[in-house]
Structure 1
Amino acid sequence: MSPSFVNAAYYPCWRIYRDLPPSSLQLDFISHVLYAFVLINTDGTLRFLDEHADCTIAADGEQGCLSAVSKLKAHRPWLKTLVSMGGGTGSAEFPAMAADPAARETFARSCREFVDRWGFDGVDIDWECPETPQDGANYMALLHALRRALPRPRYLLTTALPVGEYCLRHLDLPTAGHLLDYLNLMAYDFVGPWTDVCGHQGQLLPPPGKLEHTHPNLRNSCHGAVEYILSRGFPATKLILGIPVYARSFEGTHGVGQPFTKAEEMDYNEMPREWIHQASIDQSAGAASFVDRSPGGKGFVSFDVPETVQRKAEYVKWMGLGGLFYWTGVGDIKGPESLVWAGYQALHSNSQSS
């Protein structure tokens, strides 16, 4: 594993119930594993999301997925492991906790104790997300407390943030760039049940002449979000571009910009293989899709394929970014259809193009 680029993967503990333990990750192509999720209390203490999955279920010959992730490092000295705090449904306590100086210190100390107990290398903060100026200030105070408790070079400190200006505009990005090792940019979910029309959920570029997006203050492409963050002083080499290892489908639609009757989500490895093999590549957007016209079909389906991941990896090199990450690593397919492998190969090839 070359240290020059990050190729990170999130491991969601609940996937153990689908017989996908941490060892099912494509570890030969992964530099960092981020364990999702551990939850927080408003007083700064921690709690398990699923104590059975985390600590007791049989996983890779260990008791619990936390021990199984720690075990991964035994034969892979290059591998870094982080525990991700919060998540999309686990962020409600962040605003109150981060607003309380005593709770912030408790949280930072609890994170250090957790990392040391389980043999991890650091912490990933997945607060989704600071939406007010006060939340933004408290987020920065939280990062300061965490960095004091998790000093370099022994510990890593990262965060996952969305592409929306509704969040990013409240953050002191230059200071965040100093405190963080990486910012994991969730460069996906540009469309979904919350939007009026369907489209590409993780397009690299906004296609010219097409309906872009109806959500206010949301960058509608990977490039738009990257430009915004870099223009505000965040270092490019610490910015990691996210890859969705899942599809979004929009029933009742056959193309970008159409209103839909139902929106659903499925992991990449749950998709019919013909969708991947027969995907249409929008070269102007750097996005892939398939239209399921079968009776009761899913309609327009947006997802990444190896070709679009390769292009995103080339974009990372062209822009001088730090690498890629995948939500989730266990949603991938092994072999030539693998997104993790495609990203790794492209990041470590000699060519560079936009």
Structure 2
Amino acid sequence: MSLLAISGFAQTKIANASAGRKKIIVAYVTSWTKVMPDPAYVTHINYAFGHVNNTFDGIRIDNEKRLKSLVSLKNNAPQLKIMLSVGGWGSGRFSEMAATAENRKKFAEDCLRVINEFGLDGIDIDWEYPTSNAAKISSSPDDTRNYTSLMQEIRNKIRKSKLLTLASVADAKYIDFKAIEPAVDFVNIMTYDMGRPPYHHAGLYRSKYTSGISVDEAVTAHLNAGMPLGKLVLGIPFYGHGKDGIADFIDYREIVNLKGFKMQWDEEARVPFLENDRGEFVCTYETPESIAVKCAYLLNRGMLGAMYWEYGGDTDDGILRKAVFSGINK
């Protein structure tokens, strides 16, 4: 058999193995909401948030009592994975922490301390974003290289028995994915916030209502950057963006109660939007129908699963979380 044939055979085996892996559903659950997630509909919970502490060498956790209550779900659902997500938009001090070997080592040690103290299954790093100060946080041109060293340090400290994941911006910038790939279990792509009305913020494919990139292009960007499909998790927003009488950020639970708007379906982008009485695009959001399309897409591509921000944005009866669950488990 030629080397080319062997390479093709190996790639096929990897793709088949990825397609055959049990798919995951990651739900972000926040410190400021009270709803308790139903383990029947998720495989992983990312608790938002922990933060880099003021001395740049450890973790400070928001509302530790809520984190403990989430971990208690494992008493009746031992298969459930609970992670602490460190970071979030506007959460800083990453750059200073990652800048020195000593701080990285101490931070990694504190990751292990938090895992052991709270009975967690791993750590999710949500630095938004290395080398960028768009969120009004400190940054450095060295952040990307230091990020790689940080992830390697955390992996070495928590070992392979615990999970190490990350949240990534849609266009796959800021991170050296080839370098971190061996250290991480999977990547949660934030395939949302890519536009504001009159544009979609999470359109699956391009259409005339695309201002940035599409979800499909975001997945391909991560693949081209060096992260295999079997380690990619597709982000789904449980919220929308509005204008002209609709809040810029609005949870799905509030969108379903809006009056005086007409739902439209973009057949090219495969997502809905709301129009006002003048026929203007005023809200971009998701429905069970668009979620079903996204789930079919990720399964077809051989991705690891779906992620959503955030559990509390759903209706009380779980319209969207049930759509994700049924879409992933077809």
TM-score by length of 1: 0.79
**Counterpart check, 1:76 vs 2:77:** yes
Aligned equivalent of 1:47: 60
Q: How does 1:1-354 map to 2 (within 5 A)?
A: 4-16=22-34, 20=35, 23=36, 25-41=37-53, 42-49=55-62, 54-55=63-64, 64-90=65-91, 92-131=92-131, 133-152=141-160, 154-164=161-171, 168=173, 170-192=174-196, 198-207=198-207, 210=208, 212-213=210-211, 220-251=213-244, 264-273=248-257, 279-293=263-277, 300-335=282-317, 338-349=319-330
| Mapped contact 1:174–1:233 kept (Cα < 8 A) | yes
Distance in 1, matches of 2:76 and 2:262, equals 38
| Mapped contact 1:32–1:80 kept (Cα < 8 A) | yes
| Mapped contact 2:233–2:303 kept (Cα < 8 A) | yes
| Mapped contact 1:187–1:202 kept (Cα < 8 A) | yes
Q: Secondary structure at the match of 1:185?
A: strand
Per-residue displacement from partner, 1:24-74 (whole Å, max 9, x unpaired)? x2321100000000111252122233xxxx24xxxxxxxx20110110111
Supply the AA of the counterpart residue of 1:318.
Answer: N
Distance in 2, matches of 1:278 and 1:181, equals 42
| Mapped contact 1:251–1:299 kept (Cα < 8 A) | no
Distance in 1, matches of 2:281 and 2:216, equals 27
Supply the AA of the counterpart residue of 1:78.
Answer: Q
Supply the AA of the counterpart residue of 1:160.
Answer: A
| Mapped contact 2:234–2:305 kept (Cα < 8 A) | yes
Q: CA RMSD in A?
A: 2.4
1:279, distance to aligned residue in structure 2 (A): 2.7
Supply the AA of the counterpart residue of 2:168.
Answer: L
Supply the AA of the counterpart residue of 2:249.
Answer: E
1:274, distance to aligned residue in structure 2 (A): 5.9
| Mapped contact 1:26–1:329 kept (Cα < 8 A) | no
Distance in 1, matches of 2:292 and 2:252, equals 16
In structure 2, the CA distance between the partners of 1:308 and 1:211, relative to structure 1 (3 Å rule), is: closer
Q: Secondary structure at the match of 1:279?
A: strand
Aligned equivalent of 1:256: none
Q: Secondary structure at the match of 1:143?
A: helix
* Structure 1: tracts of 5 or more residues without a match: 56-63, 214-218, 253-261, 350-354
Aligned equivalent of 2:4: none
Distance in 1, matches of 2:301 and 2:30, equals 29
Distance in 1, matches of 2:24 and 2:263, equals 27
Greater alpha carbon shift after TM alignment, 154-163 vs 38-47: 38-47
Supply the AA of the counterpart residue of 1:264.
Answer: D
The percent identity for this pair of structures is 29
1:291, distance to aligned residue in structure 2 (A): 1.9
1:211, distance to aligned residue in structure 2 (A): 5.4
Distance in 1, matches of 2:216 and 2:306, equals 14
Supply the AA of the counterpart residue of 1:183.
Answer: V
Distance in 2, matches of 1:125 and 1:279, equals 36
Distance in 2, matches of 1:173 and 1:48, equals 27
Distance in 2, matches of 1:199 and 1:347, equals 27
Aligned equivalent of 1:60: none
* Structure 2: tracts of 5 or more residues without a match: 1-19, 132-139
Distance in 1, matches of 2:271 and 2:162, equals 36
Distance in 2, matches of 1:171 and 1:10, equals 21
TM-score by length of 2: 0.85
Per-residue displacement from partner, 1:85-132 (whole Å, max 9, x unpaired)? 011121x21111111111111110001101110111000000000136
Q: Secondary structure at the match of 1:97?
A: helix
Q: Secondary structure at the match of 1:76?
A: coil
1:182, distance to aligned residue in structure 2 (A): 1.0
Distance in 2, matches of 1:116 and 1:269, equals 35
Distance in 1, matches of 2:50 and 2:123, equals 10
1:236, distance to aligned residue in structure 2 (A): 0.5
Distance in 2, matches of 1:85 and 1:39, equals 5
